[in-house]
Amino acid sequence: MANRHLQRSIAMQSLFERDFHECDDTRVDTVIDFNYKEFAPSTKDHDFSERLVKGVIEHTEQVDTLIAKCAPEWPLDQIAAVDRNTLRIGTYELLFGDYEETPPKVAINEAIEIAKAYGSDSSPRFINGVLGTIYREMGEPMKNDDAQKAKERRKDEGEKNEEKSAKDGK
């Protein structure tokens, strides 16, 4: 399991435990540490999952409001805890994440993968629908950036090849 995917899984498990046990937010570091010891004992870097968990906690009101708006048929307290916390992580990454570090489509795909691993059979479709709606509500940031970057990369590679050919021809 890739490191970032593992850290997202730990974040989801930690947020799930926080919901399930109604933990005090001051204990969140203890919960994260326990989950690393239990599920990823050889992983030393906890920064990304800690940032996700603490970011979701700090911005829960904004995140939950947007989820409720984009999934109006599903009151937040009726969404399964795994799905609710997977949505919170995905929404947090869409709203407050570093797009250079995690482009929006990667955040959505990662949430879908977590839903496949931990949720019900219908969870991935549900997560995809809600996060896709949130992404569209946001104006689809970076939608065309990938195509533009690929075009620029091909142009740069072509120029380098021309320079090399010219250099080799001299």
Domain span at residue 169 reads: 145-170
Across 113-120, average pLDDT: 96
Residues 109 and 149 in one domain: no
φ and ψ of 101, to 5 deg: -80, -45
Q: Where are the beta strands (DSSP E) in the chain?
A: none
pLDDT at 22: 72
**Tokens coding 160:** 């380098």
Can you give the pTM of this predicted structure? 0.79
**Tokens coding 78:** 């009726």
pLDDT at residue 69 tops 50: yes
pLDDT tens figures, 3-52? 888 999 999 999 998 888 676 667 787 888 888 888 887 877 778 989 99
Residues 149 and 135 in one domain: no
Residues 47 and 128 in one domain: yes
If one counts the domains in the chain, the total is 2
Residues 151 and 126 in one domain: no
